[in-house]
Amino acid sequence: MENLLGLLRIHVKRGVNLAIRDIASSDPYIVFNFGNKKLKTHVVKQSVNPEWNDDLTLSVTDPNLPVKLTVYDKDILSADDKMGEAEFSIAPYLEAIKFRHKIKGGLPNGTIIMKIQPNRQNCLSEESHIVWNQGKLLQNMFIRLQNVECGEVELQLEWIDVPGSKGI
């Protein structure tokens, strides 16, 4: 890929208070769309507070594209039910990544580099932090699902440089 900037690893930690779509629970999984790329987590059976702990990796060629996610309830005999959707921008995270060479090695673990406030343009349910941890910049975020009665998803972003790529 000649336009490859790098890789974005999305650590899908968990869902919180997801909507019930079966009799008393749901069998949730998440589909991530980024441009023409599509990835999904595994299905967690009978849980509205699933622990995925899945790592999904996206190739980034356009830093301005939003990451879109849709949570579904897996059904056997019918089409899977939507349990909410959201999208978020990786632009603030990539801005912080551009400056990481200035901070290499000089900061203690857990140092907050940037804070991103929830607003009408993002689906954050609380302030998101970009932190320095073990030589990496990570962004922790809680995403509020839209078009559904309840539910949030906890994610962590990590940038991976690829030798020979354009970089950011």
pLDDT value of position 103: 66
- Assign 1 a pLDDT band (cuts: 50, 70, 90): low
Which whole number is the average pLDDT over 127-135?
90
Strands 6-16 and 28-34: unpaired
- Assign 135 a pLDDT band (cuts: 50, 70, 90): confident
- Assign 133 a pLDDT band (cuts: 50, 70, 90): confident
Give the residue with greater pLDDT, 57 vs 5.
57
Instruction: Please spell the DSSP secondary structure of 43-112, one letter per residue.
Output: --SS-SS-EEEEEEEEEES-TTSEEEEEEEE--SSSPPEEEEEEEEE-HHHHHHHHTGGGTTT-S-TTEE
Give residue-wise pLDDT tens across range 85-127: 999 999 999 988 887 766 666 678 888 989 999 988 889 999 9
Give residue-wise pLDDT tens across range 64-88: 999 999 999 999 889 999 999 999 9
pLDDT value of position 110: 87
Q: Which positions ≥6 away from 79 have C-beta within 8 Å?
A: none
Give the residue with greater pLDDT, 4 vs 148.
148
Mean pLDDT (the chain, rounded): 91
Other Cβ atoms closer than 10 A to 168: 13
- Assign 166 a pLDDT band (cuts: 50, 70, 90): confident
Find, among 94, 93, 112, the residue nearest to 103 by Cα: 112
Which whole number is the average pLDDT over 126-142?
91
Q: Report whether 34 contacts 67 (CB < 8 A).
A: yes
| pTM of structure | 0.92
pLDDT value of position 2: 66
